[in-house]
């Protein structure tokens, strides 16, 4: 699974046969889009609120149009794949080089995700935008018996999450940290 990084958008385009004006325009637009992404990076809650609004819009649209269940199923499978990448450590704990600490005297190694939060948000938002775009094309409204797709997705979701949770328990890592980090200043350390 390969994800583009936020820095890929402003990169120099590969040499091609397009006119210089088109290449410059594409480069300029790529840089502006990269600047916009860089500006949005520290704002976690507004970014996810925007994505939640897109998700709600998509669900309402599919509900009222009564169709595009295959598109919805593909979106759900893709989001599940992204979520598993978000929960998984970058290095496999079963290999020796990237192992997580299992005893209290082991060296502390912070949890590093295979898919960072920003890339997870970006891919999720892009997936919802593409899915909304797909609902404007009747050719993608393939008639299916949607309860079968729902049952199959739920079975897939619960079996995948069970495997992921067992992996987390086996290797003793928690991919979420809800505590606010606190740092001690020099004065506090000297007082102790």
The residue whose two tokens read 């995948």 is 160
CA distance linking residue 63 with residue 23, whole number of Å: 41
pLDDT one digit per residue (tens) for the chain, 192 residues: 445 555 555 555 555 676 788 888 889 999 998 998 888 889 989 999 999 999 999 999 999 999 999 999 999 999 999 999 888 887 766 665 555 555 665 555 666 778 889 999 999 999 999 999 999 999 999 999 999 999 999 999 999 989 888 887 777 776 666 665 555 555 555 555
Angle at 162 between CA 156 and CA 163, to 5 degrees: 90
pTM above 0.85, yes or no: no
Domain boundaries, the chain: 1-41, 43-176
């Amino acid at each position: 699974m390969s994800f583009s990084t936020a820095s890929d958008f402003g990169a120099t385009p590969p040499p091609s046969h397009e006119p210089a004006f088109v290449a410059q325009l594409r480069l300029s637009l790529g840089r502006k889009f990269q600047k916009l992404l860089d500006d949005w990076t520290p704002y976690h809650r507004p970014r996810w609120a925007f994505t939640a609004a897109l998700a709600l819009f998509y669900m309402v649209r599919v509900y009222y149009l009564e169709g595009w269940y295959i598109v919805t199923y593909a979106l759900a499978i893709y989001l599940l794949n992204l979520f598993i990448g978000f929960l998984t450590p970058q290095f496999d704990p079963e290999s020796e080089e990237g192992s997580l600490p299992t005893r209290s005297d082991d060296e502390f190694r912070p949890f590093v995700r295979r898919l960072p939060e920003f890339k997870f948000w970006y891919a999720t938002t892009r997936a919802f935008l593409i899915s909304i775009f797909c609902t404007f094309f009747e050719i993608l409204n393939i008639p299916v018996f949607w309860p079968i797709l729902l049952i199959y997705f739920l079975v897939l979701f619960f079996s995948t999450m069970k495997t992921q949770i067992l992996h987390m328990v086996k290797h003793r890592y928690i991919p979420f940290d809800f505590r606010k980090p606190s740092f001690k200043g020099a004065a506090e350390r000297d007082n102790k």
